[in-house]
Structures are given as C-alpha cells and as structure tokens.
Amino acid sequence: MPELPEVETVRRGLAPYLTGARIAAVALNRADLRFAFPADLATALVGETVTGVGRRAKYLLIALSSGETVLSHLGMTGAYRFAFGGPAEPTRHHRVPGGHDHMVWSLVHPDHGAFDLIYSDTRRFGFIDLLSDPAENPYLAGLGPEPLSNAFDAPYLAARLAGRKAPIKTALLDQRIIAGLGNIYVCEVLYRAHILPTVPAGDLVAGDGRPKPPLEDLVAAIRAVLAEAIAAGGSTLRDFRAADGERGYFQHSFTVYDREGEPCLTPGCRGTIARIVQSGRSSFFCPVCQKSAE
DNA sequence: ACTTTGACCTGTGCGC
DNA sequence: TGCGCACAGGTCAAAG
C-alpha cells in the first residue's frame, strides 16, 4: 500500500523503538511472503542490536550490529505494529481465521523495555531479505533518485524523459526514473501540476533537452505533495505505539485519487474527475484543468 | 530496447 | 442474503 510517504511514516514510528533494541527472538509463522524468507533470517537476527532504521524508496532498511541489514518491503498490505505486554491485538486484516501475522520480533530496549514487533501482510506482496551490503543489492541499485533529495530536479527528469513515448503516468511509476511514487501520488502530482496522465513523457521536454515549464511545475508538485503527505503522516505517529501504522496510510485525504465523478477541487475549475486505466492501473484526473504539454 | 500484460495473494464492495 | 465479479496503494517475469 505504502508509497514513499507511508513508508517514511512507518520508519519514523519504528526508529525510536527499534534503535538500540536487542533482538531476543524471532518467530516466522510461514516460510515465505512474496519470496521465501532467507534461510538464516532468524538466527542472523537473534542476539543482534538494531543500530538504525532507514528508508530507500519504498524499502525499509533495518541496520543490525552485525553489519547486516534487514530489507523490508511492505507490498500492498504490509504493516508493522507493536505489542507491549499482553496478547497482541489483531490488525484489522486479522479478523478472518488464520490471520496474517507472518513475522514477530521480540525486542528489549533499554528505555522501552520488552515488546514485540509484528509484521502482518494480508496479500503477501511484501518481502523481507537480509543484505550484507545494501549498496550492492539489486533491489536498491537500480532505483532512481529520492524525490526529496538534491539529486532530483527538473534537468534530471528532463534527461530521463526525453524521447519517451510512454505516458507520463507510466514513467513516474517507474522506480528506476524516480523512487517512491506509486499510483496514488502519481495521480496527485499530475493533478497538482495540471498535466494529463496520458501526455507522452517526452512531450514535457523541449527540443534542446531542457524541461518545459510544465515539467518544472511537475517537479515542484512532486516535492510539495510528498512533503505534505509525510507531514500528515507524522501527525499520526502519536498513536503508532498502540496502532498498527495502517491508520496513517489513509488518514491523508486525496484531492483527485478515488474521486471519480466528483467535482474538481482546483479553484475556479468546473470539471468533474474522470477515471481511465493505464498499464492496468486506475488514473484519476480532471479533463478540464489538466492539459497536454504545449 | 521498449511497453504492455499477466501473475502473485486476499479482502471488500458492488450489482444482480 | 448469496454469488460473482471488479477492484485494491507494488513489483516482476513473460510476452508483444
């Protein structure tokens, strides 16, 4: 589910409790998620101390005192929650018999005491791996720049989009071009930048290879929308200890995503939000105030 | 080399 | 109420 802002929110919720905690035990309730758990996962974790919780794109990176790193991707329905003493409350995906709590870390933190960290994942599109060298990992090596970093700007994006005939919607979902955007935020940033999702990506680049004004707007929109979403997620962190982190995913209200048939919220625009399917994914947009590149 | 499609899973909500 | 179908925020392999 989680796109960059949601994963960042999870990271911020986990970091204060995991950093400095010692892993006393690890339970795996099945052999695989999307991929098999590494054979030595539990033994590699037990006895180690967490030295930090990072994020790259939509991946969580949990660093261990051994020097190894746990890579965790939440897929569509992955979620972490804590259980401090007593039986853990099931997640809302857990009402059906069987449940979806696939991995449980038992941790001891010098300040927070003993607690469990539970990973649940209904659809099991998530996965967990153990990396000795994150920089060399194929999952991470091919990722494009972080959209909130200095490495991401309009000239960069222009260079990557020049000549591409694929719709801008599809290009922005390509993690090799820009890391961390998913279907919701791509819809949102294109809406904010007033660009139709169907525009051929290369149309946003001028003949000399420089970004056209709409592409400058798009870069600004990407930064603004993500920053706002992270800020909104941060406001839910107060509850992270008791909740499952899932709440934050949807707390944020969207301006175009999933609003088919509703009025466009752009000031002065009288359009109605439409929905089309691109690359098998829903695109929501306003056919009035979102335009092709001039 | 490029893009699109199907596959992986389970759950929910809608129309009939 | 029940049933079937469409759909869901991600990614990868395979097919075009």
How does pLDDT run across A232-286, given as a tens digit for each residue?
875 554 444 434 444 445 556 789 999 999 999 999 999 999 999 998 899 999 9
For A162-192, how does the pLDDT look when each residue is reduced to its tens digit (9 = 90+)? 999 999 999 999 999 999 999 999 999 999 9
pLDDT band at residue A99, thresholds of 50, 70 and 90? Answer: confident
Which protein residues have any CB–strand B distance under 7 A?
A 34, 92-93, 95-96, 98, 100, 122-125, 164-167, 170-171, 279-280
Architecture in CATH for domain A154-285: Orthogonal Bundle (1.10)
Active site amino acids of A: 2-3, 58, 281
pLDDT per residue as tens digits for the range A15-52: 999 999 999 999 999 999 999 999 999 999 999 999 99
| Strand C neighbors by CB, 7 A | A 1-3, 6, 34, 57-58, 73, 75-76, 123, 125, 139, 173, 175, 181-184, 249-250, 280-282
* pLDDT value, residue A294: 74
A115-129: average pLDDT? 93
Give the model's pLDDT for residue A86. 56
- At residue A138 the predicted structure's pLDDT band, cuts being 50, 70 and 90, is confident
Question: Which pLDDT does position A251 carry in this prediction?
Answer: 55
Q: What pLDDT was estimated at residue A243?
A: 41
Which residue, A48, A60, A31, is CA-closest to A106? A48
Q: For residue A88, what pLDDT band results from cuts at 50, 70 and 90?
A: low
**CATH class of residue range A4-141:** alpha beta
Residues facing A127 on adjacent strands: A73
Nearest in space to A181 (alpha carbons), one of A147, A208, A150: A147
pLDDT at A97: 46
Same topology, domains A4-141 and A154-285? Answer is no
- Give residue A93's pLDDT band: very low, low, confident or very high (50, 70, 90): very low
- Rounded, the Å distance between the CA of A287 and C1' of C11 is 29
Partners of residue A55 on adjacent β-strands: A60
Q: Is the pLDDT of residue A193 over 50?
A: yes
Contacts of A16 (CB under 8 A, 6+ apart): none
pLDDT at A247: 46
SS (H, E, C) A218-243: HHHHHHHHHHHHHHHHHCCHHHCCCC
Mean pLDDT of chain A: 88
Beta strand A59-64 with A69-73 is antiparallel
**Average pLDDT of A105-123?**
94
Reading the block at residue A106, the tokens are 């038992």
pLDDT at residue A1, as a whole number:
63
Share of chain A above pLDDT 70, in %: 89
Please give the pLDDT value at position A95: 40
pLDDT band at A89 (very low <50, low <70, confident <90, very high): low
The residues spanned by each domain of chain A are 4-141, 154-285
Separation of A100 CA and C2 C1' (Å): 26
Q: What is the pLDDT of residues A215-229, one digit of tens each?
A: 999 999 999 999 999
Å between CA of A264 and C1' of B13: 25
Identify the residue whose tokens are 């986990």. Answer: A14
Q: Residues of A annotated as binding site for DNA?
A: 100, 123, 164
CA proximity to A154, closest of A227, A196, A210, A200 = A210
Secondary structure string (H, E, C) spanning chain A: CCCHHHHHHHHHHHHHHHCCCEEEEEEECCCECCCECCCCHHHHHCCCEEEEEEEECCEEEEEECCCCEEEEECCCCEEEEEECCCCCCCCHHHCCCCCCEEEEEEEEECCCEEEEEEEEECCCCCEEEEECCHHHCHHHHCCCCCCCCCCCCHHHHHHHHCCCCCEHHHHHHCCCCCCCCCHHHHHHHHHHCCECCCCEHHHHECCCCCECHHHHHHHHHHHHHHHHHHHHHHCCHHHCCCCCCHHHHHHCCCCCCCCCCCECCCCCCCCECEEEEECCEEEEECCCCCECCC
* Separation of alpha carbons A211 and A75, rounded Å: 33
